[in-house]
Amino acid sequence: MAYRAPLAEFRFILDQVVPLAPVAATDRFAEATGETVEAILTEAARMCDEVMAPLQRAGDLHPARLENGVVRASPGFAEGYRAIAEGGWVGLAADPAQGGMGLPQTLNVAVNDMMSGACLALQLNPLLTQGQIEALEHHASPELQALYLPKLISGEWSGTMNLTEPQAGSDVGALRTRAEPKGDGTYAVTGQKIFISWGDSDVTANVCHLVLARLPDAAPGTKGISLFMVPKYLPDAQGRPGQANALKVVSLEHKMGLHGSPTCVMAFEGATGWLVGEPNKGMAAMFTMMNNARLAVGVQGIGVAEAAYQKALAYAADRRQMGPILDHADVRRMLAGMKADIFAARCIALSCAVATDLARATDDGDCAARAAFLTPIAKAFGTDVGMAVSDTGVQVHGGMGFVEETGAAQFYRDVRVTAIYEGTNGIQAMDLVGRKMMDEGRAAFRLLQEVQDEAAAARARLPDLAGDVWAATETLREATEALLRTAPQDRFAGAVPYLRAFARVLGGHFHLKAALAEGAAGPRGALARVYIRRLLPQHSALLAEAAAGADDLYALSGEDLAA
């Protein structure tokens, strides 16, 4: 079965569960009418089904390759990228003044979900460009914006971000790349970066690198980092790609998956760059791009989970062992759990996007705080679901899932990295219990109160499900109050299970809303029962782990762990 974008699912969620209507009611997003939303989703689904999905296997079987210093894309990727660019999908949420559509980020999330399910390796290219667009919109000079944004938004040029170095992974402050002033307003950027997705390709006319580097005499650590625009080709007087810059692709990484997405080792050898934002304020500018990317990466996990689920479901319906294996209780358990988790993760991501849009349109501080709070949950849970559903998809296929020709294993190989890049899921969890709790938990408690209030209101119609959601939320509230009293090391030791528990409760909330919207007598009510009765109870064990502290972990020495 070929991938089909879940168009009906997005229509239902954005209408009934995570409504887009409050966003469309703002002046900023007034053009996001029902008719426009329907047209956008329908056309994006068509492009994903007809253009991108057929490239999924080609990218895996015929990886991007480095030839004579130039990266050659997988067969069909150039044509697929052209369809993305010409359709305006790169600039869907970008500033109309620079050629974007100016539509809500929520719609962009929905489109990226569909594109990720169709072909994640190709979708990575425009996703990175979208993050760069946002960083330039917020931090670049008017001159840089005027030169780069129209080209990036149109898809004529593509964008990357260059953070990681061989000795500096998540510890960005340890980077050594340097930038020397050239006396003409530009800088000579020298250093090596690794893990640069789509660091080069032949599908766009120019590749624009945002590079973190140190100015001379900069302070150590993250406080001394600046951000630079370093294009592959230096724009000429007319803004066209001109002379080649002093940078090159050293090699391509040999990866577990995502073979169609070239991951480059980049060398900058006195390459000409332009400062983006203020000196020594590069991390603030890069975090604009990274925060955009964190939600987008969570959505990547969800999109791949959808594709893996669709493939597993089709196989279970066709494969016969004492009748279709779809009729076997354990296979039914796996498929129902997959579908329930995808719905929960998708609603969390869309809820984060709606909060982001409302914050931008209204300057509402509570909406901004909610968007910030939900971002690490959306990233970590979305990618966890991507891995779990893809893994279960292999299990549904049985032995055939372990055979590459079926394509079931590719989903797991491709999605596995999403839990690692843009901040590992452990870093997301520590951000949730650390920085996101610096408001004494106000954003968390506001969200929990909303969930409990809606569960209480639902008791008259769905007493069993509503009662379970209310009770789980109360347990999470108590755990959050206890978390705020713990020492940082104990808090970090329990961060991952705490984030997972929070996501579990939010999933129950959204499933309850879906069941109520349907009337509780149809398949959404049945799926809500699967989630609330089988998956939501996991929150208790997760919160018990979250409260365990760190003493037992550090009671084991390094020698003990090696014994």
Q: Per-residue confidence of the chain (563 residues) as pLDDT tens digits?
A: 689 999 999 999 999 999 999 999 999 999 999 999 999 999 999 999 999 999 999 999 999 999 988 899 999 999 999 999 999 999 999 999 999 999 999 999 999 999 999 999 999 999 999 999 999 999 999 999 999 999 999 999 999 999 889 877 666 667 889 999 999 999 999 999 999 999 999 999 999 999 999 999 888 887 889 999 999 999 998 889 999 999 999 999 999 999 999 999 999 999 999 999 999 988 888 777 777 789 999 999 999 999 999 999 999 999 887 779 999 999 999 999 999 999 999 999 999 999 999 999 999 999 999 999 999 999 999 999 999 999 999 999 999 999 999 999 999 999 999 999 988 999 999 999 999 999 999 999 999 999 999 999 999 999 999 999 999 999 999 999 999 999 999 999 999 999 999 999 999 999 999 999 998 678 999 999 999 999 999 999 999 999 999 999 999 998 999 98
pTM of the model: 0.96
For the chain, domains (ranges, CATH) are 159-280 (2.40.110.20), 426-551 (no CATH)
Q: Dihedral sign for Cα 301, 303, 307, 313, please.
A: positive
Identify each DSSP E strand in 214-328 by its residue range.
226-231, 233-235, 241-244, 247-252, 263-276
Selected catalytic residue, list 156, 422, 450, 518: 422
Q: Answer whether 117's CB lies under 8 Å from 306's CB.
A: yes
3-state secondary structure of 70: strand
Is residue 422 among the annotated active site residues? yes
Rounded to whole angstroms, the Cα distance separating 180 from 186 reads: 9
- Please, which residues have CB within 8 angstroms of residue 467's CB and are 6 or more apart in sequence? 455, 459
CA atoms within a 13 Å half-sphere pointing along the CA-CB vector of 265: 9
Q: Answer whether 255's CB lies under 8 Å from 193's CB.
A: no
